[in-house]
Amino acid sequence: MLVDSHCHLDFPDFAEDLDGIVSRARAAGIGRMVTISTRVRQLNQLLAIAERYDDVYCSVGTHPHNADEEDGISPDELIALTQHPRVVALGEAGLDYFYDDGSPEAQARGFRAHIAAARATGLPLVIHTREADADCSRILEEEAAKGSFRAVLHCYTGGRELALKAVSLGLYIGFTGILTFKKSDALRALAAELPSDRILVETDSPYLAPGKFRGKRNEPAYVVEVAKVLAETRGVSLEEISRQTTENFFRLFSKVEA
């Protein structure tokens, strides 16, 4: 069994054939999917999906691109929304300096509020960080000093230093189709180096279709392609990488029924 720990099934790209998407994932051996929230105010759309399919769960959070729009969301509000049985994680929240969406200040406030909610609930936080290694590292360190929390740095594209810092704080690193791209030698070197109990696979679909599907709409079934490259990179079998990443998923996303 493999797990897609990060997809966006509520995006309009999937509206036409959600049943088909989920059945193709099941047929490909994807045992669980987590559809990740990008706007707290749109949680109902995710809940409708997570309630419709037994093997799909969701998170609740504000993507850094939407940080201004949802500025001021409190840890208490997030904590209350995690009481729903299908909500198994916080996020995605974090820092994204690649695009101009979301001021850095609002992103940082949102990031810290989500960390506080993760700490209080014991649920994992899905962290989105792009072109923000130094600030992300500093916030993780400051927040960890206030009390531990669980998290994954999803769709990892940052440097080695931030990844190793995150691992030292007990966090996980998630890999997408970017791992399969030709130019991703440094990322593969990092993926080969990380401890086997800290790695996850994900699609971030509909974005980032891996390898042979590049340029097309991505979907959870294709997480197999990410796992294949991760296995090759680490010199283990696909069965072994499936076992490790799935075990890691259930350890981190402990509210998901095994």
Both tokens of 222, joined, read 């294709």
Distance of closest approach, residue 130 Cβ to Zn ion, in angstroms: 8
Distance of closest approach, residue 253 Cβ to Zn ion, in angstroms: 15
SS3 category, 37 = coil
Distance of closest approach, residue 36 Cβ to Zn ion, in angstroms: 5
Q: Which residues of 206-217 are buried (b: 16+ CB within 10 A; e: fewer)?
A: bbbbbeebeeee
CA distances from 243 to 18, 36, 43, 227 (A): 27, 23, 31, 11
Q: Decide if 148 contacts 166 (C-beta within 8 A).
A: no
Residues between 23 and 82 that touch Zn ion (CB under 5 A): none
Q: Decide if 125 contacts 118 (C-beta within 8 A).
A: yes
| Nearer to Zn ion among residue 133 and residue 204 (C-beta) | 204
Q: Decide if 177 contacts 208 (C-beta within 8 A).
A: yes
Stretch that binds Zn ion, among 50-58, 88-96, 217-225, 244-252 (CB under 5 A): 88-96
Beta bridge partners of 126: 91, 152
| Nearer to Zn ion among residue 58 and residue 231 (C-beta) | 58
Q: Other CB atoms closer than 10 Å to residue 239's CB: what's the count?
A: 10
| Nearer to Zn ion among residue 65 and residue 198 (C-beta) | 65
Binding characters for Zn ion, 189-228, by CB under 5 A (x = yes): ---------------x------------------------
- Token pair 């998170």 is at which residue? 59
One residue of 128, 150, 165, 198 binding Zn ion per CB under 5 A? 128
| Nearer to Zn ion among residue 75 and residue 174 (C-beta) | 174
| Nearer to Zn ion among residue 4 and residue 92 (C-beta) | 92
Q: Decide if 81 contacts 47 (C-beta within 8 A).
A: no
Distance of closest approach, residue 91 Cβ to Zn ion, in angstroms: 8
SS3 category, 180 = helix
Distance of closest approach, residue 92 Cβ to Zn ion, in angstroms: 5
Q: Decide if 119 contacts 144 (C-beta within 8 A).
A: no
Work out whether 114 is an interface residue with Zn ion (CB under 5 A): no
| Nearer to Zn ion among residue 36 and residue 221 (C-beta) | 36
Stretch that binds Zn ion, among 13-21, 67-75, 89-97, 104-112 (CB under 5 A): 89-97
Q: For Zn ion, which residue has the nearest CB?
A: 128
How many residues line the site for Zn ion (CB under 5 A)? 3
Residues that bind Zn ion (CB under 5 A): 92, 128, 204
